[in-house]
Amino acid sequence: MNPDLPAIHQHPLAFLVGLEGVALMRAFAGEHDRAFVEARLDDVRALLDAADRLGPGCDVPPIDTREGYRHWAPRYDGPNGFWGMEEPLVRPLMERLEPGVVIDAACGTGRHTAWLVEQGHDVLAFDTSRDMLEIARAKVPGARFAEADLHALPVPDASADLVLVTLALCHVQRLGPVFAELARVLRPGGHLVVSDTRGYFVGSPLYPLVEGGDGEFGYIPNWRHATSEYLQAALPAGLAPRFCREYAGGGADDGDGGREYTAAAHDGTGGFDPAADLTFEDPDRPPNIWEMMPWVEAATRAAYAGAPALIVWDFEKE
């Protein structure tokens, strides 16, 4: 457990009413009509009436990444729909580079590591999770793996042509020291490619994570970094941005490699059904948001419409 961070309280009613509230705020700003607003208010009344059926919620203690990913490792490889979005956005930034020495920092189970080896790179891959590394070693015999933290990579200065950090900086509270370390190991002219989640009140059945057979659970702390925070960390380290883009989490292709949501017009469907079966698969665990979202489909679609889910960067060391 991580005693430096507080437990969080996750209540099903709070999540559902919160989605309705975000949808209502977007309607207040002009994105939806009167019928939509009235339907959302009807939802809120029905949800409050159903509060007793939703359960009391629970407190969830924090756990660190080593402990959390130890339990996630066996199922980390999928299915994971987020990868299908992230990989086609990150890999083209690296395809134009000549084969060289690559550091896959926070490599997880080696999904990008394997691809980098296939491209002819000499890959050094690091992670803090021994369990993730064990899986990666078995999958990618052509790379070298070691346990290491983003703040202290065990390689000499200016030794890498490319550093890759994907879906990991959300676990870092302060970006400055990490970017300084990533810049240290890059050669002049080398590239740092980053992908990160945007943390727009998203959740997952894997966050919190079940710790083991005793039924205990915990959450891995995540931080949402403003776009400016990446620049404030990168520029003093001599890393110049060459590419940056945020991507929404689903919907239709916008014609330029990104994806965007289109908020559906209110058609009287997707509201909360007071007679719905609100039984959770496992009521003794923290609520699964994916299980709850369909209960308030219209509010969910409106709340998340166009919300960025991923940011991708390409920095060059000057």
Give the tens place of pLDDT for each residue, 30-87. 999 999 999 999 999 999 999 999 988 888 888 888 888 887 788 788 777 677 889 9
Whether residue 259 is predicted with pLDDT greater than 60 in this model: the reply is no
Does 5 reside within a domain? no
User: Does 72 reside within a domain?
Assistant: yes
In a domain, 287, yes or no: yes
Do 131 and 267 belong to one domain? no
Same domain (yes/no): 210, 130 = yes
Q: Is the pLDDT of residue 240 over 50?
A: yes
Mean pLDDT across 214-227: 82
Cα(135)–Cα(140) distance, rounded to whole angstroms?
A: 9
Q: Tell whether 122 and 213 lie within a shared domain.
A: yes
- Mean pLDDT score across all residues of the chain: 87
Distance CA 32, CA 310 (A): 25
Judge whether 2 lies within some domain: no
> Is 110 inside a domain boundary?
yes
135 and 227 fall within a common domain: yes
Both 140 and 38 in one domain: the answer is no
Claim to verify: residue 30 and residue 163 sit in the same structural domain: no
Q: How far is CA 250 from the centre of its chain?
A: 14
The residues, any chain, with a CB within 8 Å of residue 279's CB and separated by 6 or more, are none
CA gap 272, 289 in Å, rounded: 15
Q: What are the residues facing 219 on neighbouring strands? A: 62
Q: Would you say 296 and 271 are in contact if contact means Cβ atoms under 8 Å apart?
A: yes
- pLDDT of 251 higher than 60: no
Is 114 inside any structural domain?
A: yes
- Within 10 Å of residue 26's Cβ, how many Cβ atoms? 19
Over residues 157-182, mean pLDDT: 96
Alpha carbon separation from 160 to 99, 125, 284 (Å, rounded): 11, 12, 47
* Cβ–Cβ under 8 Å, residues 229 and 175: yes
Looking at the structure, do residues 91 and 178 belong to the same domain, yes or no? yes
- pLDDT of residue 252 exceeding 70, the answer is no
What is the gyration radius of the CA atoms in the chain, in angstroms?
21
- Specify the pLDDT at position 198: 87
* DSSP helix/strand/coil, 32: coil
On the CB side of 297, how many CA atoms lie within 13 Å of its CA? 11
**The predicted structure's pLDDT at residue 1:** 46
Residue 72 shares a structural domain with residue 51: no
Residues 63, 219 contacting (CB under 8 angstroms): yes
Taking the C-alpha atoms of 18, 23, 25 and 29 in order, what is their torsion angle to the nearest 10 degrees? 170
User: Confidence band (pLDDT; 50, 70, 90) for 219?
Assistant: confident
- Determine the structural domain holding residue 171 and report its residue range: 65-247+310-317
Indicate whether 257 pLDDT > 50: no
Looking at the structure, do residues 20 and 129 belong to the same domain, yes or no? no
Give CA angle at 76 (75, 77), nearest 5°: 95
pLDDT tens per residue across span 2-38:
557 888 888 999 999 999 999 999 999 999 999 999 9
pLDDT digits (tens, 9 = 90+) for 170-207: 999 999 999 999 999 999 999 999 999 987 665 555 56
In a domain, 195, yes or no: yes
Q: What is the Cα–Cα distance from 20 to 46, expressed in whole angstroms?
A: 12
Whether residue 6 is contained in a domain is answered as no
- Answer yes or no: are the C-beta atoms of 164 and 104 closer than 8 Å: yes
Over residues 76-135, the pLDDT tens digits come to: 887 776 778 899 999 999 999 999 999 999 999 999 999 999 999 999 999 999 999 999
3-state helix, strand, coil in the chain (%, to 5): 40, 25, 40
Read off the pLDDT of residues 275-307 as tens digits, 9 standing for 90 and up.
888 887 777 778 888 889 899 999 999 998 888
Both 174 and 29 in one domain: the answer is no
What does the pLDDT average to over 124-153? 96
Is the pLDDT at 139 greater than 80, yes or no? yes
- 229 and 119 inside one domain: yes
125 and 21, same structural domain?
A: no
pLDDT above 90 (res 243): yes
Q: Alpha helices of 96-222 — where are they, by DSSP H?
A: 111-118, 130-139, 175-185
Q: How many domains does the chain have?
A: 2
| CATH number assigned to the domain comprising residue 164 | 3.40.50.150
Q: Length of the chain in residues, anyone? A: 318
What does the block give as tokens for 8?
């969080």
